[in-house]
Amino acid sequence: DQQVKQNSPSLSVQEGRISILNCDYTNSMFDYFLWYKKYPAEGPTFLISISSIKDKNEDGRFTVFLNKSAKHLSLHIVPSQPGDSAVYFCAASARSNYQLIWGAGTKLIIKP
Amino acid sequence: GAVVSQHPSRVICKSGTSVKIECRSLDFQATTMFWYRQFPKQSLMLMATSNEGSKATYEQGVEKDKFLINHASLTLSTLTVTSAHPEDSSFYICSARLAGHIGTDTQYFGPGTRLTVL
């Protein structure tokens, strides 16, 4: 039972364009969502998060949007850069349990 | 801020030996640390939750006698893979929980340890 789903295993985007990574969740108890970036053979790096009281959070080139009614969140990267090529994981947690529930990841490839 | 280190980064050992992996939060105190395992082309699998001063909580299917976890201080947790076998070869990653406002805890990850058991 996947509570957090990233349905696109991979995404290819032209350098300079916008990358949009999507994530869906099923557990309505989730109230905090995070995006991590991971290079091969390295630990994940925290990128950005959003609490369920917000619908948007922005940090530089990264913006996360949360649609609670649709149980959907997305990460926008603009403009996309070659160094953004990595696997992106969406994770969620509930206030009552701080464990993270992870999506399967989306491999983002930025083409020059 | 929020830096987590792991040591060693790579280890190769013979079957039947034990291997200890250290996870340290360098600039914050972490009452809770997590140990993950990543298989090739798969997402992170949570193995256990390590709580400072108390026993670790293991996920279903993870052998607590094989994967010994000790959270001796607010900045250090260790994972010992006992009597390692080739099937234990994997990429092990730890994370430390940085408490935020209620419900906004963030986990910061170490760089991972590649274990190869011959």
Report whether B34 contacts B49 (CB < 8 A): yes
Query: Mind telling me how many Å the CA of B16 is from chain A's nearest CA?
Result: 25
Confidence of residue A96 (pLDDT cuts 50, 70, 90): low
Taking alpha carbons only, the member of A32, A5, A11, A3 closest to residue A77 is A11
pLDDT over threshold 80, residue A97: no
Vertex A106 angle, CA B47 and A78, to 5°: 125
**Beta pairing class for A30-38 and A86-94:** antiparallel
Q: Output the pLDDT for position A40.
A: 87
Taking CA atoms, what residue in B is nearest to A100? B107
pLDDT tens, position by position, A17-57: 999 999 999 999 998 999 999 998 889 999 999 999 999 99
**Other CB atoms closer than 10 Å to residue A105's CB: what's the count?**
23
Among B7, B105, B115, the strongest candidate for a mutation testing the A interface, having the largest count of A CBs within 10 A, is B105
Q: Which pair of tokens denotes residue A25?
A: 């969740």
Query: Token match 């992170």: residue?
Result: B44
Q: Is B29 on the interface with A (CB under 8 A)?
A: no
Q: Do B114 and A105 touch (CB under 8 A)?
A: no
Q: Which pair of tokens denotes residue A32?
A: 């905090």
A41 vs A13, residue with greater confidence: A13
Separation between Cα atoms, residue A76 and residue A20, nearest integer Å: 5
Mean pLDDT over the full length of chain A: 93
Query: Mind telling me how many Å the CA of A39 is from chain B's nearest CA?
Result: 10
Name the residue among B49, B105, B112 with its Cβ closest to that of A42.
B112
3-state helix/strand/coil string of chain A? CCCEECCCCEEEEECCCCEEEEEEECCCCEEEEEEEEECCCCCCEEEEEEECCCCEEEECCEEEEEECCCCEEEEEECCCCHHHCEEEEEEEEECCEEEEEECCCEEEEEEC
The pLDDT profile of chain B, 118 residues, written as one tens digit per residue, is 689 999 999 999 999 999 999 999 998 888 899 999 987 767 788 999 998 888 899 999 999 999 999 988 889 999 999 999 999 999 999 999 887 766 677 889 999 999 999 9
Confidence of residue A100 (pLDDT cuts 50, 70, 90): confident
Chain A hits for B107, Cβ within 8 Å: 34, 46, 100
Q: Do A44 and B34 touch (CB under 8 A)?
A: no
When pLDDT is averaged across residues A54-66 and rounded to a whole number, the result is 97
Separation between Cα atoms, residue A78 and residue A13, nearest integer Å: 11
Q: Output the pLDDT for position B101.
A: 64
Whether the bond between A9 and the residue before it is cis, its omega within 30 degrees of 0, is: no
Alpha helices in B1-118 (DSSP H): none
Chain A hits for B109, Cβ within 8 Å: 36, 43-46
